[in-house]
Chains A and B, each alone.
Chain A
Amino acid sequence: MAAGTRPGPRQPPEAEPAAEEPHPPLGRELTEANRFAYAALCAISLSQLFPEPEQSSFCTEFVTGLVRWLALSEAVLPTMTAFTSGLGSEGAELFAQSISKDPALQGSLGAITQDLLSFSLKDRYDARARVLVCHVTSLLQVSLEELDVLEETFLESLKETKEEESEMAEASRKKRETRRKWKRYLLIGLATVGGGTLIGVTGGLAAPLVAAGAATIIGSAGAAALGSAAGIAVMTSLFGAAGAGLTGYKMKKRVGAIEEFTFLPLTEGRQLHITIAITGWLASGKYRTFSAPWSALARSQEQYCLAWEAKYLMELGNALETILSGLANMVAQEALKYTVLSGIVAALTWPASLLSVANIIDNPWGVCLHRSAEVGKHLAHILLSRQQGQRPVTLIGFSLGARVIYFCLQEMARERDCQGIIEDVILLGAPVEGDPKHWEPFQKVVSGRIVNGYSRGDWLLSFVYRTSSVQLHVAGLQPVQLQDRRVENVDLSSVVSGHLDYAKQMDVILKAVGVRTKPGWGEKGLLLAPGGPPQEEPQQAAADKTSRQDGQTQGPAPRDTARASTDPSQAQEPVGPDPSEGASLPAAEGPAGSPPVCSHGVDPNPLGCPDCARETPGPCPGLD
């Protein structure tokens, strides 16, 4: 499927020269000096990305493996260890330069990314490895788009059947698509892994993807390029031995107080990394489904949204809307926003009209706060059990969905085996403790970015917290002051003026926090409401709702499928919609790449961006 939706012209142009002859892993073709530089560059990157002591064994293993992969002498290991422990980092730039001049590459640095990718895939492609690959890719000034192409190519190579095999056999053919060459390289890389000890892990072949992939690999036994054992081992470990992956997950028993917990596919494809989106509340109308707010999300080709506790979330959403309609007057809302913006609001200063309806919200809010914590813990255990395989997972959620993530991370941090599962997390308007000390444990769980998107003017959030003791440290209202390369605080005040905006402005927000959105969404901005999807939305939503209430059945997967396929114009594939987005993508390296601070730049701001209009002094006071 991924193959079908792929637009043609995405092949990296530099790919051609790199893959002219079938050779062992490209890494080994570099000169010895550059192989050394390559390993050193990775070692230095690891030391910068994962300086925590608990990661050191991963770093050492990775580098040791890489040294062998590159056929470098073991004598360099002490030096590499020195690099991984943070010494000599000043050389990184020159190493990268030296590599880029290697004759074997002929100027195509993407080949290094490709080589590193095949190396990581061979052992375990976990979140840390992916963060490293991204980091090195950007150090070499290769676009991350290219990395995506490579990942897809690899996947395709697992999926494609006979026709491809015959082509594989004619390896010497000169006329050949670039993509094919890349693929061959990848497979060769995998084949040279050798070692068939993992072949026992074939339990998951039932899953369609894995089955197809296995057919390719087993069927093409003649094609010398494929080490079948290695191939199968890679697949099963990547995609999870259970095969079916996340959608196949069913809650075996009621866990704690959780009544509903299902993964719904948001997109149709398969990818080497997955994204799970978690909705914070449901409302009547457009946002009555879990997937509705995420229609613009295009971070990965394999995205799920978590359906949880619809009944309660619906209650909450209705309560939120009631409150809003109680204050239908936009002026009153704006006034509230600025009251909140101006600083700490004492309980007394809340308008009487709002306090009078407080009981409407307080109860469902309290219930959902509790349930989201439970759901988060449950999610943690699912991820820890690797239902998704070894693949890196990105979690993104708003409102109570962010709270689910928060508790998921908290729970994972307690387990010993929690590293390398989560790539990025994005919490938007999170009703959770924002004190840095509570976020510290997340460093070892999350390999990539921890994004806290907050809005100082979110009066609804501060209202529901008005009596709570944690009022002063709500993450969704202010930056989390944790000094770590992972943490990024994004001030969304100009986009989000009330809590409900998190769902409504999701496409703008996603861009602001540097997450890829589907092409076409960004420019439209406000069009979100009357756009394409809503047409299907009503009946779809209804279907969704009924099936959900039926109980914890498999989930209305076909529905989403249908939608995805009726929607071919919006090629699921993110084709680098605009340059600004591309620029914000390498943000993984640190705050340098963080997205536009105040989302004014992300216009058009549907609210008319009051911050700009009224020229509030520092539109982004939180980003210091």
Chain B
Amino acid sequence: MDEDVLTTLKILIIGESGVGKSSLLLRFTDDTFDPELAATIGVDFKVKTISVDGNKAKLAIWDTAGQERFRTLTPSYYRGAQGVILVYDVTRRDTFVKLDNWLNELETYCTRNDIVNMLVGNKIDKENREVDRNEGLKFARKHSMLFIEASAKTCDGVQCAFEELVEKIIQTPGLWESENQNKGVKLSHMEESHGGGACGGYCSVL
């Protein structure tokens, strides 16, 4: 089973407390939703294998705690991450405003600069929207991130968010190949087999 997995990717989910990071993950991995989900302690961890463009990728997803008291631990997880999902709550403007802080932290602690970021506006099923879709889009463009709006409750956009992210990572061979190189796989071989299929340009996902 593990043999046909192309690579293992480390994905990190960050964002303010209560924006629904764990719910997004739970929806993605177990396809369930729990409105009363307890606050995450430290970090939560889940593995899921997904298939994107015929390539299987094993995702090791670290779901960090948003609460301030766990903030000191968050930097521990950035190292080695290939993709980051930054989540905000469309019904709470403050979570959107704080995105800048998260980006700063990301910049400070990430070990690589070509890491793929995705901005997710969560809870679009709710009525009282405070952050407009276009605002999110603008912010994502400005910081060259992927962007999607989603709802963990209704399952809207969740699968898509992870898939787009993985796709983009796989299209950036430098990101994950170095990992394989460490394990002794020849770099050249990888380039031949996947370089061709990659879409060279940057695709913004709307």
Contact = CB atoms under 8 A, between A and B. Distances in A.
Interface in B49-79: 60, 62, 69-73, 75-77, 79
Nearest to B22: A75
Contacts of A470: none
B38 interface: yes
B26 to A, nearest CB: 12
B41 interface: yes
Interface in B68-104: 69-73, 75-77, 79-80
Contacts of B43: 36, 79, 88
B77 A40 contact: no
Contacts of A94: 73, 75-76
Contacts, number: 65
A91 B74 CA distance: 9
Given A33-B70, A33-B72, A98-B76, 11 more contacts: A32-B41, A72-B41, A78-B44, A78-B45, A79-B42, A79-B43, A88-B45, A91-B73, A94-B75, A95-B73, A101-B72
Top-9 shortest CB links A-B: A91-B76, A36-B42, A94-B76, A82-B45, A90-B79, A79-B45, A33-B70, A98-B72, A76-B41
A241 B108 CA distance: 56
A36 B44 contact: no
Contacts of A93: 76
A33 B42 contact: yes
B62 A36 contact: no
B69 A31 contact: yes
A93 B80 CA distance: 14
A75 B34 CA distance: 14
Interface string A48-88: 00000000000000000000000011011011001100011
Nearest to A87: B60
Interface in A78-133: 78-79, 82-83, 87-88, 90-95, 98, 101
Contacts of A92: 76
Contacts of B42: 33, 36-37, 40, 76, 79
B76 A95 contact: yes
Contact of A88 (B38, B46, B70, B77): B77
21 contacts: A32-B41, A32-B69, A32-B70, A33-B69, A33-B73, A36-B73, A37-B76, A73-B38, A73-B41, A75-B40, A76-B44, A82-B60, A83-B45, A87-B60, A88-B62, A90-B80, A91-B76, A92-B76, A94-B73, A95-B73, A98-B72
Contacts of B40: 75
Chain A contact residues: over half helix, strand or loop, or mixed?
Answer: helix
Nearest to A82: B45
A33 B66 CA distance: 12
Contacts of B46: 78
Contacts of A87: 45, 60
Contacts of A40: 42
Nearest to B77: A91
Nearest to B60: A87
A545 to B, nearest CB: 59
A40 B74 CA distance: 13
Nearest to A76: B41
Nearest to B69: A33
Interface residues of B, number: 21
Interface string A493-517: 0000000000000000000000000
A31 B72 CA distance: 11
A91 B79 contact: yes
B14 to A, nearest CB: 14
Chain B contact residues: over half helix, strand or loop, or mixed?
Answer: mixed
Contacts of B45: 78-79, 82-83, 87-88
A98 B45 CA distance: 20
A73 B76 CA distance: 20
A83 B77 CA distance: 12
B203 to A, nearest CB: 30
A31 B62 CA distance: 21
Interface in A551-593: none
Interface string A319-355: 0000000000000000000000000000000000000
Contacts of A98: 72-73, 76
Interface string A479-494: 0000000000000000
Interface in A361-402: none
A88 B73 CA distance: 12
Given A88-B62, A94-B75, A36 B41 contact: yes
Contacts of A32: 41, 69-70
A79 B73 contact: no
Contacts of B76: 37, 88, 90-95, 98
Contacts of B70: 32-33, 36
A101 to B, nearest CB: 7
A93 B76 CA distance: 8
A593 B41 CA distance: 35
Contacts of B71: 33
A37 B73 contact: yes
B72 A75 contact: no
Given A88-B62, A95-B73, A75 B79 contact: no
A32 B62 CA distance: 18
B156 to A, nearest CB: 26
B125 to A, nearest CB: 25
Contacts of B73: 33, 36-37, 91, 94-95, 98
A166 B70 CA distance: 42
Contacts of B79: 90-91
A75 B60 contact: no
Interface in A23-49: 31-33, 36-37, 40
Contacts of B80: 90
Contacts of B72: 33, 98, 101
Of listed A33, A40, A78, residue having the most chain B CB within 10 A: A33
Nearest to A79: B45
Contacts of A82: 45, 47, 60
A32 B71 CA distance: 11
Nearest to A78: B45
A187 to B, nearest CB: 29
A286 B69 CA distance: 64
Contacts of B41: 32, 36, 72-73, 75-76
Contacts of A36: 41-43, 70, 73
Contacts of A79: 42-45
A616 B25 CA distance: 63
A91 B80 CA distance: 10
Contacts of B60: 82, 87
Contacts of A33: 42, 69-73
A32 B73 CA distance: 11
Interface in A449-503: none
B128 to A, nearest CB: 29
A33 B69 CA distance: 6
Nearest to B38: A75
A154 B147 CA distance: 58
Interface string A2-41: 0000000000000000000000000000011100110010
